[in-house]
Amino acid sequence: MAAKIPVTVVTGFLGAGKTTLVRHLLQNNQGRKIAVLVNEFGEVGIDGDLLRNCQICEEEEDASNNILELTNGCLCCTVQEEFFPTMQELLKRRDKIDCIVVETSGLALPKPLVQAFRWPQIRNSATVDGVVTVVDCEAIASGALVGDLDALEAQRQADPNLEHETPIEELFEDQLACSDLVLLTKVDRVDETTRKKVETWLKQELPAGVNIVPCYNGEIAAEILLGFDAAVEDNLETRPSHHDHEEEHDHDDDINSVQLILDQEFEPKKLMDCLQELYKEAEVYRVKGFVNVPKKPMRLVVQGVGKHLDSFYDRAWGNEEPRQTRLVLIGRNLDERAIKTKIMGVLV
């Protein structure tokens, strides 16, 4: 029987840099035929579109299963609802695939995804080679995810059995507990002392033997991301989760996304200022999308986590592509009508 296809799961909190990492891997695949499966949160496919337009190749779409075949031998597909059918379609092409990379939603628990690889229909053909968790060094240092590092450490020492973690903290801890490797991104945005403090804290939270590797702009050698041979689905018992003993978990029921598809053009500064205000007024975790800028032939990419917003022009609008502003905001109990009204208000 042919060897199982190795699958690398890339997990990490919202905006940590997972898509940037996977784009770099596709651009530097060193001849590997890689299938990338993007599990997105929300209906507007922002991350999948960014990957498919990573300027490495033309693409031809198989509309029947939402898999894009790239001319360099790679595949890219987006799954928003059913993981199993998409994996089945990929496994039909196993003779053309060297490995699979699954980029999870920033709100996904990694362990249930790995458990899916125990299903007989998948287990005989694929194995989870390793779980890579992407961690935003700047966000951790600023307390965006887990609070002030020194205060958190003091709490840990005083009471190691804290019972009042927020769902977001539990999610972050579960991602760390399932890791084979942690990539620490945005280290260039903090000083050396802060970076070392973050690494020291992370080492206390990680399973023994899990390494932390600094990563700049997603630039990491493929050999570091691939080839763990961990067969993760066979040793999940050693990767504890907050939800191991729950038949169902509904901690994140109040986390939702707001998707906006707008025909209007937006001045970048006004829109970015508006988004910054939304961070103050609502519990927004993540912003991502594309913006139609007046008199600009290129589309503007907007990405934000916490209070940090970035934007850059990635490519020209296609001839047959509608010049629309498409935004996704992810947070807690977000009011779609109020958010749309506020964003449309910058046009006045």
- 248-292 pLDDT per residue, tens: 444 455 677 788 999 999 999 999 999 989 988 888 877 888 899
What does DSSP assign to residue 95?
A: G
CATH architecture of structural domain 255-347:
2-Layer Sandwich (3.30)
**pTM for the whole structure:** 0.66
Where in the chain do CATH 3.30.1220.10 domains reside? 255-347
Q: What residue has token string 């060094």?
A: 137
Q: What's the pLDDT at 222? A: 87
Cβ atoms of 67 and 90 within 8 Å: the answer is yes
**Which of 3-17, 147-161, 236-250 is least confident?**
147-161
- 113-158 pLDDT per residue, tens: 888 888 888 888 999 999 999 999 988 888 766 444 555 455 545 5
- 24-36 pLDDT per residue, tens: 888 888 888 888 8
Q: In whole angstroms, give the CA distance from residue 241 to residue 131.
A: 14
- The yes/no answer on whether domain 5-238 falls in CATH 1.10.420.10 is no
Compute the mean pLDDT over every residue in the chain, rounded to the nearest whole number. Answer: 78
- Both structure tokens of 139: 């966000």
- Both structure tokens of 342: 């506020």
Where in the chain do CATH 3.40.50.300 domains reside? 5-238
